[in-house]
Structure 1
């Protein structure tokens, strides 16, 4: 492991300028009362370091990435792994893992490729409110969290 970012909790990496992605992160925050998940925009140095650490160097901004320890998940697999850890009834969505991944990912890719046109995008990454700031992963100039 090359970064000082602790991975004791799952970390969601998301497109910080995408309105749909930001809405999804807000949804997770609202339905994760235990604070299970931490977050970082894919455009951040923290995300870049985490992705390098887990060996995922072929990413783009069309998916969010779930980093759990030394493992990472993308697209529908990431979304459903997150869903199953949210409060009831949202946790039931995890049952969709029985649908074959190529089919799930095809739907995910279709939404992802049209997300800016349908939902729009911001000029810059979201700035977390003070209430949720500690759940966002950041790196300082030295590379430490």
Structure 2
């Protein structure tokens, strides 16, 4: 799979202090099929702006976003879209696409609201590996 039409990057807006979310980013870096994804922590300036532009409170995010073909996909739709770009065992979660969206989002909300208690919270965002650092910001507008 290659970059979406019009060179629009795949963007994952994630909670950089959430252990689950940060682990997901590490997983994506290891299993991504085409290395086309950009990762933007919601705690960054760019992340805050992106969150606000899509109706997410950057100080109390209840969803991450996955932006594909310039369409912002929240909650379970975002998870499924993200996983379609990955290899590895996470692809088993694609079975969730057969569940009704209301049920998928209900499950997503339960995990999202309890993510710090269940998985932990860091005091600050991780610094990306220097070789991957360019992927942790939005591309410059051309």
Structure 1 window deviating more from structure 2 (67-76 vs 77-86): it is: 67-76
1:129 aligns with 2:129: yes
In structure 2, do the counterparts of structure 1 residues 104 and 39 end up closer, same or farther at CA, with 3 Å as the change threshold? Answer: same
For the aligned residue pairs, the C-alpha RMSD in angstroms reads 2.4
1:42 aligns with 2:42: yes
Structure 1 window deviating more from structure 2 (64-73 vs 18-27): it is: 64-73
In 1, Cα distance between equivalents of 2:126 and 2:115: 16
Contact kept, 8 Å, 2:76 with 2:105, in 1: the verdict is yes
Aligned pairs for 1:1-145 (under 5 A) are 8-51=8-51, 55-59=53-57, 60-87=60-87, 90-91=90-91, 93-137=93-137
In 2, Cα distance between equivalents of 1:23 and 1:89: 14
Contact kept, 8 Å, 1:9 with 1:37, in 2: the verdict is yes
In structure 2, do the counterparts of structure 1 residues 82 and 99 end up closer, same or farther at CA, with 3 Å as the change threshold? Answer: same
Q: TM-score with structure 2 length normalisation?
A: 0.81
Contact kept, 8 Å, 1:10 with 1:69, in 2: the verdict is yes
In 2, Cα distance between equivalents of 1:84 and 1:94: 8
**Aligned-partner SS, 1:49:** helix
Structure 1 window deviating more from structure 2 (91-100 vs 127-136): it is: 91-100
Q: TM-score with structure 1 length normalisation?
A: 0.79
Contact kept, 8 Å, 2:75 with 2:105, in 1: the verdict is yes
CA distances 1:64-84 after superposition (whole Å, capped 9, x unpaired): 111224310111110110111
**Aligned-partner SS, 1:93:** helix
**CA shift for structure 1 position 63:** 1.8
Q: Which runs of 5+ in 2 are unaligned?
A: 1-5
